Amino acid sequence: MKSNILIVDDSALLRRVECDIINSDNKLQATDTCKDGLEALEKLRTQKYDAVILDINMPRMNGLEVLSHLQKESIKTPVVVVSTLTIEGADEAIKSLELGAFDFVTKPNNIIEAKGNQFKETLLRVVYAAVRITPAHSASRNLTVVEKKAGAIVNKHKAAGSNKIVAIASSTGGPKALQSVIPFLPAELLAPVVLVQHMPAGFTKSMAERLNELSQVQVKEASNGEVLKNGVVYIAPGGTHIAIKKSGASHVISFNDMPPISGLKPCANIMFDSLTSSNYDEVVCVVLTGMGADGTNGILSLGKSKPIYVIAQDEKSSVVYGMPRAIYEAGVVDEVVTLSDVAKAITKNVGVK
């Protein structure tokens, strides 16, 4: 049976394009469309859908207002928000996640982009995750990674020193999950935190600013050449790979403009790999909710040359149990914890000043 999708957008052209994309997939169907939020809310109150594709800026009732009503009325339909790539659009996208949206995709700038493969593939991937459909190729790709690397020798002995770093990877469901992790880290955390969240360029700055407002630690979008400091969280900018490089007695953020890796930029594997040549005594690796297996190969490679401690989010609290599952099946996870306990597990392993 096909999953029923409601499409909500004030642009007739984009409604048509999104309908065509959804209906091109043999597991999905665009059951209904609405031209504004008020019309959508009425449908959601009376009809059952497996997911909603929701524009933010619409007449009569905007997407954020729709999400607010759904939250108040306990209507649980997964919502994928379509957001413009502007400063205001990025702020609205982050706000939509706080109001219960499942995830967001970037609105195409023109008809050529709207009908292009990138928008189609991104939209289908996120809608699939929202309705909990796993494309046939995804599971086999994850298993291939694990089978190829499972025999790796990993340094699991406890590090003698206290010079540690925390490296976090997250993807689908990550922006919301991070609000249950980063704000609960203590200001005096005895380690810097580097974080790769799969996100388009332009959105990570808004996410960092919002997390900074909520947190005791300082949270910022990473800058090229920036020296890492304890108690600071550095988020890889969307569309940019980050590496950690030695610089004298310190370590700095180094941007890497390689092409996307398996469609991902930033890619967590690059971040983890770069730590193999660092001077840190131990790397606390954290893998949160997300599709695919990004982070697994990087952590396994890192573990050959550096003591690591691996924390994975559990299946029940993960929006998508892909990345945590991949690292768990690789056999190197030290702790599997529910989302609300991730910050506690990090703090326990790096300490507080």
CATH number, residue 56: 3.40.50.2300
Do 125 and 45 belong to one domain?
A: yes
9/40 Cα distance (integer angstroms):
9
Give pLDDT, residue 127. Answer: 94
User: Could you give the residue numbers annotated as active site?
Assistant: 171, 198, 294
For residues 326 and 270, membership in a common domain is answered with yes
Same-domain pairing of 13 and 149: no
Is there a single domain that holds both residue 324 and residue 221? yes
Total domains present in the chain: 2
Specify whether 121 is located in the same domain as 182: no
- In this structure, are 282 and 147 located in the same domain? yes
Answer with the one of 102, 133, 164 that is the final residue of a domain. 133
My answer on whether 166 and 106 are in the same domain is no
In sequence order, which ranges of 235-314 are alpha helices (DSSP H)? 268-274, 296-303
Residues 122, 154: one domain?
no
Instruction: Say if residue 335 is in the same domain as residue 186.
Output: yes
Residues 183 and 246 occupy one common structural domain = yes
Closest to 77 (Cα-Cα) out of 31, 118, 35: 31
Single residue among 133, 164, 182 that ends a domain in this structure: 133
d(CA 285, CA 214): 23
Distance between CA atoms of 166 and 259, rounded to whole angstroms? 25
List per-residue pLDDT tens for the chain, 353 residues long.
899 999 999 999 999 999 999 999 999 999 999 999 999 999 999 999 999 999 999 999 999 999 999 999 999 999 999 988 677 888 999 999 989 999 999 888 888 888 989 899 989 989 998 998 755 444 333 333 344 344 455 776 555 557 999 999 999 889 999 999 999 999 999 999 999 999 888 899 999 999 999 999 999 999 999 999 999 999 999 999 999 999 999 999 999 889 999 889 999 999 999 999 999 999 999 999 998 999 999 999 999 999 999 999 999 999 899 999 999 999 999 999 999 999 999 999 999 98
Phi, psi (rounded to 5 degrees) for 114: -60, -35
pTM, 2 dp: 0.87
Report pLDDT for 132: 81
**Which of 133, 161, 180 marks a domain boundary?**
133
Residue from 89, 97, 37 nearest 62 by CA: 37
CB 260 within 8 A of CB 267: yes
Dist CA 2 CA 30 (whole Å): 10
pLDDT of residue 143: 35
Q: Which residue has the tokens 């619409």?
A: 58
Q: What is the domain extent for residue 272?
A: 140-350
Q: What is the per-residue pLDDT for 1?
A: 87
Q: Enumerate the β-bridge partners of residue 243.
A: 254
Q: Does one domain contain both 60 and 202?
A: no
CATH number of the domain encompassing residue 326: 3.40.50.180
3-state helix, strand, coil in the chain (%, to 5): 35, 25, 40
Q: Could you tell me if 203 and 331 lie in one domain? A: yes
Q: Contact 273/302 with Cβ under 8 angstroms? A: yes
Distance CA 211, CA 205 (A): 10
Residue 86: per-residue pLDDT: 73
- 3-state SS, 182-229, equals HHHCCCCECCCEEEEECCCCCCHHHHHHHHHHHCCCEEEECCCCCECC
Q: Pseudo-torsion of CA 128, 70, 288, 323, nearest 10°?
A: -10
